[in-house]
Amino acid sequence: MNSHTPLLGGENNRNVNTNVSTFSRILKVSEILFFSSPVNYLLFFVPLGIIAGHLESHFSSTWLFALNFFAIIPLASVLAYATEELADQVGSTLGGLLNATLGNAVELIVSILALKEGQVRIIQASMMGSILSNLLLVTGCCFVLGGYNRVQQKFNQTAAQAMSSLLVIACASLLIPAAFRATLPDNTNSEDKFINQKILEISRSTSIILLFVYCFFLLFQLKTHRKIFEQQENEVQENINEDIDNEPKLSKWESLIVLTITTILVSICADYLVGSIDDLVATSGLSKTFIGLVIIPIVGNAAEHVTSCVVAMKDKMDLALSVSVGSSLQIALFVTPLMVLLGWFFDVPMSLNFSTFETVILFISVLLANYLILDGESNWLEGVMSLAMYMLISLAFFFYPDVNY
């Protein structure tokens, strides 16, 4: 009997050691994720938001919205970090596709849940808001923070011109349905239904074309003209090495597990956030347009805001613009068209028919952004111009009433 005791003890020790090793790795991964971004200190809002959602009757719509709003911000940061870690494991081409599809995962989740709730106005406003916030707010902060102690900053002019041209196409895709509707004479209700159907058909056809354009842009960026973007990729690698200070990366399976858990948590918090919007509009006096266009984009873009500003301060404007302007392109050429096609699938009348006021605002914003980045140089005054434009737009939409169209 005594001869078997060491064997049993050894087996138990191995199990204990395995459990300790697994637990230690979980703690290490948690530490890496927590310190991967300054916004991750807000992670304590995640359990508070979920608890508030479960005890909905005990919390006002304002508290429910606010808690889940601040919960999604760090989750978006963790999602972005895990996506980058996974992209490093699977190669550059597939990694680029992962960043393209998962880079705006929070916007996708929030929009899909809003789509199932029939909140078309929220989706349209949040899509427009994401484009404007990345294009003006984030880019403006990059120019100011990167240029306040420098005379001039330079970046890849060829890549900037390619993204500027795509922004014009994205802007035109929203201008055409709005112009189609605005130039028609007044009609009866029955004719309005016919016109609305035609606008839906135009929007769905346009969305298919935009998705093809986005695929061609990925081909251009990742394959045929890869060398143009090589400088940006080198800067990404340098930035990762500096930020993590040689900390061990997540493995492929660890990245997938983190992505899965974070996506589930984002879905839960986003569901509570979207569900509280109607009551919030009724009690706060804020319009759905302002909530969708100014407030909600902060949720999905918080991690990108921080990343862009940090690398701009390190004089890495190629990387900063690839994050800010590139995210606007993803929203305009990928997420928005996808929402239109998903609306078609769910039989929800999601279209590209924005109001004339919104399309004019987008046109002016794209015009300013193109003017600022086409020369391949930036300074802090250009950042002030961009931020001032965003503040003017936010102020205008604060007073802009909800309209049905």
Q: Are 366 and 172 in contact (CB under 8 A)?
A: no
Domain that holds residue 384: 121-251+273-399
Amino acid at 285: G
Q: What 3-state DSSP class applies to 35?
A: coil
pLDDT at 20: 60
Binned average pLDDT, 10 residues per bin, the chain of 405 residues = 51 61 81 82 90 84 89 85 75 57 75 85 87 91 90 83 85 85 63 79 93 88 73 52 52 86 88 85 82 83 75 83 83 91 90 87 91 88 95 92 65
Asked if 316 and 233 touch (Cβ cutoff 8 Å), the reply is no
Whether 211 is in a domain gets the answer: yes
What are the residues facing 377 on neighbouring strands? 154
Domain count, the chain: 1
User: Does 27 map to a domain?
Assistant: no
pLDDT, position 183: 78
> CB-side exposure of 245: number of CA atoms within 13 Å?
3
Q: Is the Cβ–Cβ distance between 24 and 292 less than 8 Å?
A: no
Closest to 77 in 3D by CA, of 36, 129, 30, 132: 36
In this predicted structure, what is the pLDDT of residue 244? 43
pTM of the model as a whole: 0.79
Q: So what's the pLDDT on residue 374?
A: 83
> Does residue 15 belong to any structural domain of this protein?
no
224 assigned to some structural domain? yes
- Within-domain flag for 113: no
Torsion of CA 186, 200, 292, 76, to 10 degrees: -170
9 part of a folded domain: no
Helix and strand numbers, DSSP H then E, in the chain: 18, 2
Task: Output the domain CATH number for residue 190.
Answer: 1.20.1420.30
What is the predicted pLDDT for the residue at 103? 64
Residue 303 lies in a domain: yes
Q: Are the C-beta atoms of residues 267 and 194 closer than 8 Å to each other? A: no
3-state class (DSSP) for residue 154: strand
pLDDT digits (tens, 9 = 90+) for 93-125: 555 556 656 667 777 888 888 888 888 888 888
Does residue 71 form part of some domain? no
Position 245 scores a pLDDT of 47
The pLDDT of residue 13 is 61
Q: What is the separation of C-alpha 323 from the centre of its chain, rounded to a whole number of angstroms?
A: 10
CB 136 within 8 A of CB 366: no
Confidence (pLDDT) at 208: 94
